Amino acid sequence: MRKSFLIIVLCLFAFVYAHAETIILHTGARVKGTIVFQNEEVVIIRDSETGARFQYPRAEVSAILTDEEAGQSETSGTSDMSNDPEVTSSKKVSIALELFGGAAVHPGNGAGGAVSADLLVGSHVVAGRHLFIGGGLGYHGLFVGGEKYNFLPIQVALRMPFVEAKHAPLFGVALGYGIAMSKNYVGGIYAGVDLGYRCQLNPKTALALTLFAQFQQARVKKVETIEEETFVNFTGCNLVSPGLKLALFF
C-alpha cells in the first residue's frame, strides 16, 4: 500500500514538474510554477517551490514561457517583451502631459522664444493599438519683439506611433482655438504637428520626444491718432513656434 501511494505521489510530482511554466512580468520579475487558470483579465499560477497561488492582472504579464523557452530566455538575457508588441492594457482612458520649449517667430516683427504646457485626456488604446486620441487645454507663452503673447488653447489631438512596438517613430497633430489672455490682442485658430520617437515603458505608460511646430493666429490691438482723433484697430498676425517637446502618457 505504501509503495503504491509513493508511486502515485512521484507520478503526480513528475507530471507537475513536466508542465511547469514561467510567467515574466513587465517589471522583469519571473514566477515559476503551474498555470491553474488564465483568461483575458487574469493569470493564476501555483508557485513550484511553496505551492502558494498568485494572481496577476493579464496587463502586467509580458510573457508565459515553458521550461525550455524560459531557459533560452535566461541564456540570451532577453524576453518576448523586447521583440513583440506590448500586451494590450485594459485601461480605457489616458492622460498626456506635454512640455514644449523653442523659438517664436512673428513675421515682420522679429523672433523670440516660446514655452508651452498642455494637459490632454483621451483614449489609451484604439483598435488594439497604443493610439492616443483626445482633447484638452494648456498654456502657451510667446515672447516676440519685446511683446508677450499668452494663450489658453482648447484643442483636439492625435498621437500615433507608426508601428506597434516598444520603440517606435511617432506622428501627431493638434487643432483648436487659442484664447487670448490679454485685452491687447485677440486669439484665433491654433494648430500643431509632432514628429519624433516614442518609448512604451509599460502597457499604461509611454514617453515621447518630438520635434514640434505650432501655429497661432491672433489679432493685435493698435491705437492710432489721426488729426487729434484716436482710432483702435485690430491687425491680424501669425505666430509660429518650432522646437522640442517632451510628452508623458499615463
Q: How far apart are CA 183 and CA 138, in angstroms?
A: 19
Architecture per CATH, domain 93-249, reads as: Beta Barrel (2.40)
Does 2 have pLDDT greater than 60?
A: no
Averaged pLDDT of the chain: 80
- 198-214 pLDDT tens trace: 998 887 789 999 999 99
Give the gyration radius of the chain's Cα atoms. 28
Predicted local distance difference test score (pLDDT) of residue 224: 66
CB atoms within 10 A of CB 28: 9
Q: Grid coordinates standing for 151?
A: 494663450
Of 245 and 6, more confident:
245
What does the alpha-carbon distance between residue 152 and residue 105 come to, in Å, rounded to a whole number? 18
Between CA 153 and CA 143 the distance in angstroms is: 16
pLDDT single digits (tens) 107-141: 777 889 999 999 999 987 776 677 899 999 999 99
Cell numbers linked to 11: 507520478
Rounded Cα distance between 174 and 164, Å, is 21
Distance set, CA 88 to CA 28, 141, 204 (Å): 17, 37, 9
The tens digit of pLDDT for each residue in 43-80 reads 888 887 777 888 888 888 888 887 666 665 554 444 44
The CATH number that domain 2-82 falls under is: 2.30.30.100
Task: Considering the chain, tell me which residue range(s) the CATH 2.30.30.100 domain(s) occupy.
Answer: 2-82
| Cβ-based burial of 76 (10 A; exposed 0-12, middle 13-18, buried ≥19) | exposed
| 209 and 245 Cβ atoms separated by less than 8 Å | yes
Largest CA distance in the chain: 120
- Of the two residues 43 and 4, the one the predictor is more confident about is 43
Is the pTM higher than 0.75? The answer reads no
3-state secondary structure at position 49: coil
Cα angle value 30/36/40 (rounded, 5°): 80
Residues of each domain in the chain carrying CATH 2.40.160.20: 93-249
> What is the C-alpha separation between 250 and 246, in angstroms, rounded?
13
Give the integer Cα–Cα distance in Å for 162 and 196: 10
